[in-house]
Amino acid sequence: MGGVLEFKGKSYEIDDDGYLINWQDWNEDIAGQLAKIEGIELTDAHWEVIRFLRNYFLQYQIAPMIKILVKEIGKVMGPEKGNTKYLYELYPGGPAKQACKFAGLPKPTGCV
Amino acid sequence: MSNKVPTPDELSKIDYTPPKKGWMDTPVEFKPGTWCYGSRPKYLESVDFPNPRDWKPTDDDWKLPENWKEIFLKGMEERLRKYRSFRLFMDICVRCGACADKCHFFIGSGDPKNMPVLRAELLRSVYRKYFTASGKLLGKVAGARELTIDVLKELWYYYYQCTECRRCSVFCPYGIDTAEITIIARELLNLLGLNTDWIAGPVANCYRTGNHLGLEPHTFKNSIEFFLSDIEDITGIKIEPSFNRKGAEILFITPSGDTFADPGTYTCMGYLMLFHELGLDYTWSTYASEGGNFGFFTSNEMAKRLHYKIYAEAKRLGVKWILGGECGHMWRVLNQYLDTWHGPADFLEEPVSPITGTTFENAKSSKLVHIAEFTADLIRNGILKLDPSRNNHLKVTFHDSCNTSRGMGIFEEPRFIIRSVCNHFYEMPEDTIREKTFCCGSGSGLNAGENMELRMRGGFPRANAVKYVKEKHDVNMLANICAIDRAALPPLMDYWVPDVRVAGVHELVGNALVMKGEKERIVDLRGEPLPVKSESTSSEEVKEG
């Protein structure tokens, strides 16, 4: 993998794990397509997470800590959904990896 | 795409039969899941590293400069002159084999080129060919070989399969420090732009923002504030630490992983609670916001550039001394290199604990104190009120991080702390701890996702020792004092020893610390219910000091 992903007349550079190289390239179309590649149809619940990730990234230039995400989703979707179990149900590949991929965020590196 | 890692059953069938042909005639094979992606050009560009370009380690063409061989050999010549240790280690090995079965990567893979002696021989053979009379004259008979593109690829593959943990060095009768050979080999590879994405990314980030993750000042502060709100929920205590405060007595530095990724975040909460309880006059820095140094995994020069900020910030803020958090290679660099590179730090004072009056004589020159020493001293002096029964749900063992154990001899302090804050502590077998500790398998920047099979293989001996204490004593918590451990050990445990979790020592301190004015705690720092107290334990088990 890695290289260029063509979708609806646009080209997107992706890395070996299928992440967008440039977070600026992201749009809702490509989010849907990246999810589809991994067999996931995005629902409103998925979008709630993606939008939060996207907004957080624009403000802080990094994906949020998982616990920030959990707390936020709990606030928006109700306390029964503010847990990692719920997020894993939505994103079986892990909220940090899979949801960030669909949201077009780069992978954090270092001691993580 | 990430490779599927074989199951533990498949992986534990390790074949130790060496290949039929001699090692020089056995070409390198890039097995899936055992190497990291090549560095993206933008990371190399940002720190002026040579030959930035898109490349893949499995490509035939590595897009090297035409005179790559000349660059490599010239680099080698310079380093043979500059580092007497390097020349010595190239010359003195007698191939006794004492190190051969001591490497976690050899134990976990069965690949003879992961024997430290042979890993070093990969480079020694080149040294002999170009820098010794016998090698020039006799070639292969004298153990010498030409530097070819295949040899270069072999060097890259195997020097990024060494975690620089130095376990082999403990057993070497000559004291050869194989990590130093790996360090130089990686320096030489870096002259040709042969880095990994997982290392070059943090280096570039650290150069730009002060930390590996690339946390901007407001992001760094936001993370800490998030922990403070959790601490308030758990203890009812509001903590207000300072950032970049001039005139603070102490500058505190920790790996940025602790401010971002679980379970390091709980360790970070432990620091915050401890310092608050002491009323410590200290500050965080959003500039010197990284204790770790991935530059150390590329070249000494890059390591030096990245860690310059620590003394620079201490000077700018006018602190007296520096306290450092739970990190591994950070301490190898701080304890053994920083003073030589940037010292003497005579603008700082010899560290004295403002709480106990203890002088940290071992840090007289560097002015950097390890938090395990600092906290152990507090406990020894009876400063802290501790309730170890709050950790009664945990059966703890301790993993000595390679760098703090073999690099600076921190053995007793973390154990003393754990015994003071936990009632259930069990040691792993003797040959797997202290100076003989087994590596997590992911150190020196090898903790990338795509490298998972190698990491599970390399971590196998460590996991095996954990499995032993789990079966014998029901151990369920693997404590450590290193941020790479906190990142690398959870997947290792999930793979080999499910149900054992991972914690920094100061998370356990934070759980046990009885704080003035706190409300009754019902959950631990992870927000999980505390063990129910029987009536007899609550008062008896509160330890003073």
Q: What is the pLDDT of residues B446-463, one digit of tens each?
A: 999 999 999 999 999 999
- Residue among B222, B333, B444 with most chain A CBs within 10 A, to mutate: B222
Rounded to the nearest angstrom, the minimum Cα separation between B80 and chain A is 31
A68 touches chain B (CB under 8 A): yes
**Residue B288 has which token pair?**
């010197």
Q: Compute the distance between CA of residue B312 and CA of residue B300 in angstroms, rounded to an integer.
A: 18
Q: Compute the distance between CA of residue B102 and CA of residue B119 in angstroms, rounded to an integer.
A: 13
Residue carrying structure tokens 């020159």:
B365
Shortest CA distance from B36: residue in chain A:
A16
Q: What are phi and psi of B130, to 5 degrees?
A: -110, -15
Q: What are phi and psi of B282, to 5 degrees?
A: -140, 165
Shortest CA distance from A21: residue in chain B:
B40
Q: Compute the distance between CA of residue B395 and CA of residue B255 in angstroms, rounded to an integer.
A: 26
Percent of the residues in chain B that have a pLDDT greater than 70, as a whole number? 97
CA-CA distances (angstroms) from residue B189 to B52, B79, B154?
13, 13, 11
B301-310, B383-392, B475-484, B528-537: the lowest-pLDDT one? B528-537
Specify the pLDDT at position B388.
98
Domain boundaries, chain B: 8-30+50-194, 204-544
Higher per-residue pLDDT: B78 or A93: B78
Q: Do B483 and A111 touch (CB under 8 A)?
A: yes
Q: B256 with A110: CB under 8 angstroms?
A: yes
Specify the pLDDT at position B108.
98
Q: pLDDT band for position B232 (50/70/90)?
A: very high
Decide if pLDDT at B209 tops 70. Answer: yes
Closest in B1, B37, B294 to A110, CB measured: B294
CA angle B277, B283, B286 (to 5 degrees): 130
Q: Do A62 and B214 touch (CB under 8 A)?
A: yes
pLDDT digits (tens, 9 = 90+) for B401-437: 999 999 999 999 999 999 999 999 999 999 999 999 9
Concatenating the DSSP letter of every residue in B446-492 gives T--GGGHHHHHHHTHHHHHHHHHHHHHH---EEEES-HHHHHHHHHH
Q: Which chain A residues are closer than 8 Å to B403 by Cβ?
A: none
**How many CB atoms lie under 10 A from the CB of residue B495?**
18
Torsion of CA A59, A60, A64, A68, to 10 degrees: -70
Decide if pLDDT at A6 tops 60. Answer: yes
Specify the pLDDT at position B3.
62
Region B252-262: mean pLDDT is 94
The three-state secondary structure class of B500 is: coil
Q: Do B262 and A62 touch (CB under 8 A)?
A: no
Shortest CA distance from A15: residue in chain B:
B1
Q: Which chain A residues are closer than 8 Å to B226 by Cβ?
A: 65, 67-68
Decide if pLDDT at B510 tops 50. Answer: yes
Q: Compute the distance between CA of residue B458 and CA of residue B109 in angstroms, rounded to an integer.
A: 7
Decide if pLDDT at B205 tops 90. Answer: yes
Q: pLDDT band for position B532 (50/70/90)?
A: confident
Decide if pLDDT at B544 tops 80. Answer: no
Tell me the catalytic residues of A. Answer: 111
Beta bridge partners of A27: none
CATH of A3-102, one of 1.20.120.10, 1.10.10.370, 1.10.3720.10, 2.40.420.20: 1.10.10.370
Q: A29 with A96: CB under 8 angstroms?
A: no
Beta bridge partners of A6: A11
Q: B440 with B409: CB under 8 angstroms?
A: no
**How many CB atoms lie under 10 A from the CB of residue B7?**
9
Q: Do B265 and A111 touch (CB under 8 A)?
A: no
Helical H runs in B32-83?
A: 41-46, 68-82
Decide if pLDDT at B343 tops 90. Answer: no
Q: Name the helix (H) or strand (E) containing B389.
A: none
Q: Do A111 and B218 touch (CB under 8 A)?
A: no
Shortest CA distance from B3: residue in chain A:
A17
Decide if pLDDT at B541 tops 80. Answer: no
Q: Which chain A residues are closer than 8 Å to B449 by Cβ?
A: 17, 97, 107
Specify the pLDDT at position B357.
98
For chains A and B, CB pairs below 8 A equal 82
Q: Compute the distance between CA of residue B140 and CA of residue B142 in angstroms, rounded to an integer.
A: 5
Q: B30 with B111: CB under 8 angstroms?
A: no
Q: pLDDT band for position B70 (50/70/90)?
A: very high
B213 touches chain A (CB under 8 A): yes
Q: Which amino acid is at B162?
A: C
Q: Which chain A residues are closer than 8 Å to B56 by Cβ?
A: 2, 16
Decide if pLDDT at B499 tops 60. Answer: yes
Specify the pLDDT at position A112.
77
pTM: 0.95
Q: B373 with B407: CB under 8 angstroms?
A: no
Q: Do B219 and A18 touch (CB under 8 A)?
A: no
Higher per-residue pLDDT: B253 or B540: B253
Q: Do B483 and A108 touch (CB under 8 A)?
A: no
Q: pLDDT band for position B534 (50/70/90)?
A: low
Decide if pLDDT at A101 tops 60. Answer: yes
**Average model confidence (pLDDT) across chain B:** 95
The three-state secondary structure class of B283 is: strand
Shortest CA distance from B526: residue in chain A:
A67
Torsion of CA B328, B175, B35, B37, to 10 degrees: 60
Rounded to the nearest angstrom, the minimum Cα separation between B5 and chain A is 15
Specify the pLDDT at position A2.
74
B198 touches chain A (CB under 8 A): yes
Q: B48 with B303: CB under 8 angstroms?
A: no
Rounded to the nearest angstrom, the minimum Cα separation between B232 and chain A is 15
Q: pLDDT band for position A37 (50/70/90)?
A: very high
